[in-house]
Structure formats: C-alpha cells, structure tokens
Amino acid sequence: MAPMHSRAGQVALPEDLIDTDAVLSAYVDRTPDLDDPAQQVVFGTSGHRGSSLDGAFNEAHIVAITQAIVEYRTAQGIDGPLYLGRDTHALSEPAQRTALEVLAAAGVEVRIDARDSYTPTPALSHSILRHNGAGSTEGVRTRGPGLADGIVVTPSHNPPRDGGFKYNPPHGGPAGSDATGQIARRANELLRSGIGAIARIPYERALQAENVHKHDYLLTYVDDLESVLDLDAIRTAGVRIGADPLGGAAVEYWAEIAERHSLDLTVVNPQVDPRWSFMTLDWDGKIRMDCSSPSAMASLVSMMRGEGGAAPYDIATGNDADADRHGIVTPDGGLMNPNHYLAVAIDYLFGHRPDWSDEAAVGKTLVSSALIDRVVAGADRRLLEVPVGFKHFVPGLLDGSVGFGGEESAGASFLRRDGSVWTTDKDGIVLALLAAEILAVTGRSPSQLHEEQVAEFGESWYARVDAAATRQEKATLAKLSAEDVTATELAGQPITASLVDAPGNGAAIGGLKVTTADAWFAARPSGTEDVYKIYAESFVSADHLEQVQSAAKDVVSAALGS
C-alpha cells in the first residue's frame, strides 16, 4: 500500500468534494473514445465501473450495456420481470433513467422501486430470488419460463465521481464471467456501430408504460428478516444498535428495520449527499465509502469511544453505498478487521443454526485469513476455498450446500434459519444485524469472541501490499502453472502447496497462492494499475509477515522468469 495520506480519517473539506453538476453534465455530453481501452465497457468482478468525467461511464455506455442485457436475456430465455435498482451515487439516478428508457422500449417487464428511492444490492438479490421461489416449499427455480433477473446501478464503495452498472441473472447473484463477457463484447459492438438505432422511450413515458411496474423492495426485504436472523433475541436483550448507512442506499432500510421489528436501533447519520461531504477521508485522501476502512469509519469509531468512556451503543455498524459490505464497531475493540469478524460469524452461525445441513460448507475467498481455516476445522466443517469474486459462492448458497460465503473485503451472506437461500449477493445489512444477535445470544461482543479464537487458534498478522509489474508480467502471472513455482521454502518454512486453481471449486485463481504450515501469500495482478497485489499472513509474528511479503516477491519474480 502507498503511504497514508496526511488527512486520512479527517472530515472532507470543500476542495475534496466533486462538482456534481459537472459529473452529471459529462454523463450526457461526453462521448467515449472507443480507441481508448479505459473508455470501453469492461465488466470486473462487480460490473462496469467508471466516471463520466473520464469518458468511462456515460449515457452511451448505459444505452449499449442495457441493450446488450436485453439481447442476452432473450438468448437465455429469461422472460420474467427485470428488477431495477440504484444507490445514492450522483450518476446512479441518470443511469437508471437511461436503462429504464431502453428496457421499456424493448418490452421488458421492469420492476422499479415503489418509493422512487434507493435499493441496496442485497434487497435486489432478495427480490429476484423471492420471485423465483426462495422462501417457498418448492424452492428457487433457475430454469423455465417467467424467471426474474436484475440490474443494480451502483459502483459500491467507489468515490462519489464514479458510477457502476451490475447485472444479476436469475440465480440472484453477480453474473459470471461467461455472461459478463458476452454482455461487454456486445455493448462495445453497439457503441462502435452507433447507439442511435437502439430504441428508447422518453423517461416520463417509460414510467407509465404497461410493462413498467412498482415494487416495494423495502418491505419485501425488511418483513422477511426474521427468517434469517433471531430478531427476538436482539429485541429481548435490548441490544443498543447504532447503524451508519454512510450516506448509502440502506438509509431508509435501517429506519424501517428499527420500527417494524421494535429494535433499539438508531440511524446514526440519515444524511444523503452525492458529494459525501460528511465522510472522513480514506487512507489515500479520497472519499470512499469503505466500511472496512478505519479511516473511512473514523467518525463512527470516534462516536463509539463515547464521552467519559461510555459508548452510546452496544454495537455500531456501517455499510457502503449499496449496502453489500459491512463494518462492525464494538465498544471494547473499535472497528473489527473484516477477517476477524468473518471468523466469529462463521463460528457462531454453525453453532446456532440447528436446521442447517450437517454437510453445509463454509465458503471463503483464497485471500481471506487462514484463521477461518482453523475455525472451520475446529467446527468439523468442510471449507470451500474459491477465487476472488462473490459469484463463486452463488451455487452453494442457492442450494444450501454452502451455509456461509465471505470475502476478506467485508462482503458476505448466509442462509435463512431453515437452511434455504436468503441472498446470493453480499448482504451488509444482515451481517451487521448478526453482530447484534451474537451479542444478544452469547453475552459477548464479536471482538471479545475474536480474542477467544486467538487464544485457541493463535494470533495472525495479515496485510496487502503492491509490487510493480509490467503489463506483460501481469498477463504472465495470471496464467502461471503450479510447475512454474520452483521455490521449496517461504520465509524459512517448507512450502506445503503452490496453487493456481482454487481448491474449493477448481476455478483459476488468476494468479498464485503459496502456503506453509504457519503462513501464506497470494499474488494477483491489478486490473487497473501496473502492479500486482500480494496478500499475506503469518501466524508467527509481524516480522515474519514482512519476511513472507519479501519472499513472495522473490517467488513471483522467479516464477515469471524475471
């Protein structure tokens, strides 16, 4: 990581804020230069993202992507409703309008928010799955007529200048690379041939079209929460919850959760501002709604310190702009490391969900902490280790064979209490409420339970750093074979495995993971910078972690032949 910015953790100043009018004007006025790869449609692990100011997220992109999705769903035989939602980023509302204009003209049955408001990603996934059978005795269908899918307009935790556009097929989770590859290729073809031929209906007319309907995402989601969480326990214990939506799509959801379920829950900051003027700057000086970042969460952490040592809440939580990530703050431990909370959540859930299958596995990404491996082994459960990308958890969450799926970047979801699917996309709201359930049922905070895990399984040191790499080196790294690793030891310990495919599902890592008895590293090329990312962890010491990071660069250099 680069050095910490001098104002990280401090409230944004006027000069840090975007010019919202300029961002919105560029969305309409700027035409992307398709000879520049950065201005083409590119779907990452969470959809297409970019800024209108850079020619990477403009009206032309959204027209083309939406039309490509229309054609994709037709080719796949998806003929049910398409659920359409947006978050609070400035570009999300105009992009949703553009998408609706194309969808309405194409005759797609569209479901938009009944309140003309914001829709968290998990609420959209939940509604898709409910339409397709989740919560019913028949279970979820992913084939056949009448299936629903969805689009959520969000760049997640990205800075205010950015926009994002994500497609969720009938399984309710993030689209896989086959789908996104087809959509992106077709969208770029449409951009090159000219989007003028794509049919659109003016927005006000589209709202009145026979194929456009209102849907109450909020109540559909909030009223169903008792199927996934023990809200009675939270209510009975009187757990005081402070929920900070960080200016995101969950703001109205938290208020409704408090009222409908009679919880002692306060929305810490109900303000919505597309400039995010109330945010504290992230580690690099940018405004970023990353609820796993101590710098971005500095205000909530400071509030939980309380005056005179008395914290105002028993549990405080944060969400990013589309509420697919969670941050957990406890009076005794501050902001929890996402890896630590995942390990606690896993241990608690698999001990307090008696109706889950004994065969239900624990899903983790291969860059998540090995503490999870040790906790899972201690619970005598199967570990499903997959590449980065929540899409890898979708099949297991859908059929109940995976009880919990989580990423080190503070995104996770888990099954309903009866062992059936809840969401197949990340759900920061239920992970936040789970922290209150854990406290209510165990009488201990998640941070206290983490200390107990450390006592049992050992303390670890975990970090991510970047190393310089050319475009060619990044391409080589993404296609390494296990035989390319010639090293036999890492930071003084014998190497136990060199992986280029994830052990949980055999999918390509797109990089390399090397393990020893007490340490590991994973190296993956960056999609946006001339670096590769090194994730590493040591159960020995902080000094040993630095040795692992240094040795990782040597191992990768040797494998690349450089």
Is residue 232 assigned to a domain?
no
- The CATH number assigned to the domain holding 79 equals 3.40.120.10
Is the CA virtual torsion 105, 56, 180, 275 positive or negative? negative
Question: First vs last Cα of the chain: how many Å apart?
Answer: 22
What pLDDT was estimated at residue 533?
Answer: 93
| CB-based contact 148:132 (threshold 8 Å) | yes
Q: How far apart are CA 453 and CA 186, in angstroms?
A: 49
What pLDDT was estimated at residue 328?
Answer: 98
Q: In 3-state terms, the chain is what percent helix, strand and coil (to 5)?
A: 35, 20, 45
Residue type, 305: R
Is residue 151 assigned to a domain?
yes
Give one word for 480, left, alpha or beta, with left for phi > 0 and alpha for psi -120 to 50: beta
Is residue 283 assigned to a domain?
no
Q: How far apart are CA 29 and CA 18, in angstroms?
A: 17
Task: Tokens 């279970």: give the residue.
Answer: 139
Helix residue spans in 110-230 (DSSP H): 121-131, 177-193, 203-207, 217-222
Establish whether 156 is a catalytic residue: yes
Among 177, 203, 218, the domain-final residue is 218
Residue type, 423: T
Q: Sheet harboring 315-319: ordered strands across?
A: 265-267, 241-244, 315-319, 326-330, 334-335
| CB-based contact 2:284 (threshold 8 Å) | yes
| CB-based contact 532:511 (threshold 8 Å) | yes
What pLDDT was estimated at residue 115?
Answer: 97
Is residue 214 assigned to a domain?
yes
CA distances from 22 to 19, 26, 347, 403 (A): 5, 6, 48, 45
Q: How far apart are CA 448 and CA 220, in angstroms?
A: 34
Which among 156, 292, 447, 460 is annotated as catalytic?
Answer: 156
Pairing of strands 361-365, 402-407: parallel
- The CATH number assigned to the domain holding 499 equals 3.30.310.50
Q: How far apart are CA 170 and CA 150, in angstroms?
A: 8
Q: What are phi and psi of 248, to 5 degrees?
A: -105, -170
CA distances from 29 to 2, 42, 59, 204 (A): 35, 21, 8, 21
Q: How far apart are CA 276 and CA 88, in angstroms?
A: 10
The string of DSSP letters for 35-90 reads TSGGGS--EETTEEEEEGGGTSS-HHHHHHHHHHHHHHHHHTT--S-EEEEE-SST
Q: How far apart are CA 224 and CA 500, in angstroms?
A: 40
Q: How many domains does the chain have?
A: 2
Is residue 515 assigned to a domain?
yes
Is residue 137 assigned to a domain?
yes
What pLDDT was estimated at residue 370?
Answer: 97
What pLDDT was estimated at residue 308?
Answer: 63
What pLDDT was estimated at residue 365?
Answer: 97
Is residue 329 assigned to a domain?
no
Instruction: Residue 541: count other Cβ atoms within 10 Å of its Cβ.
Output: 13
Find the radius of gyration of the CA atoms of the chain. Answer: 23
Close Cβ partners of 73 (under 8 Å, ≥ 6 residues apart): 79, 82, 108, 149
Is residue 122 assigned to a domain?
yes
Query: What residues make up the domain containing 475?
Result: 461-560
Among 218, 247, 267, the domain-final residue is 218
| CB-based contact 447:333 (threshold 8 Å) | yes
Is the CA virtual torsion 508, 45, 405, 525 positive or negative? positive
| CB-based contact 478:551 (threshold 8 Å) | no
pLDDT tens track of the chain, all 562 residues?
568 999 999 999 999 999 999 999 999 999 999 999 999 999 987 789 999 999 999 999 999 999 999 999 999 999 999 999 999 999 999 999 999 999 999 999 999 999 999 999 999 999 999 999 998 888 899 899 999 999 999 999 999 999 999 999 999 999 999 999 999 999 999 999 999 999 999 999 999 999 999 999 999 999 999 999 999 999 999 999 999 999 999 999 999 999 999 999 999 999 999 999 999 999 999 999 999 999 999 999 999 987 667 899 999 999 999 999 999 999 998 999 999 999 999 999 999 999 999 999 999 999 999 999 999 999 999 999 999 999 999 999 999 999 999 999 999 999 999 999 999 999 999 999 999 999 999 999 999 999 999 999 999 999 999 898 998 999 999 999 989 999 999 999 999 999 999 999 999 999 999 999 999 999 999 876 788 999 999 999 999 999 999 999 999 999 888 6
Q: What is the pTM of this model?
A: 0.96
Among 163, 188, 218, the domain-final residue is 218
Close Cβ partners of 413 (under 8 Å, ≥ 6 residues apart): 122, 393, 397, 404, 405, 422, 423, 424, 425, 426, 427, 430, 431
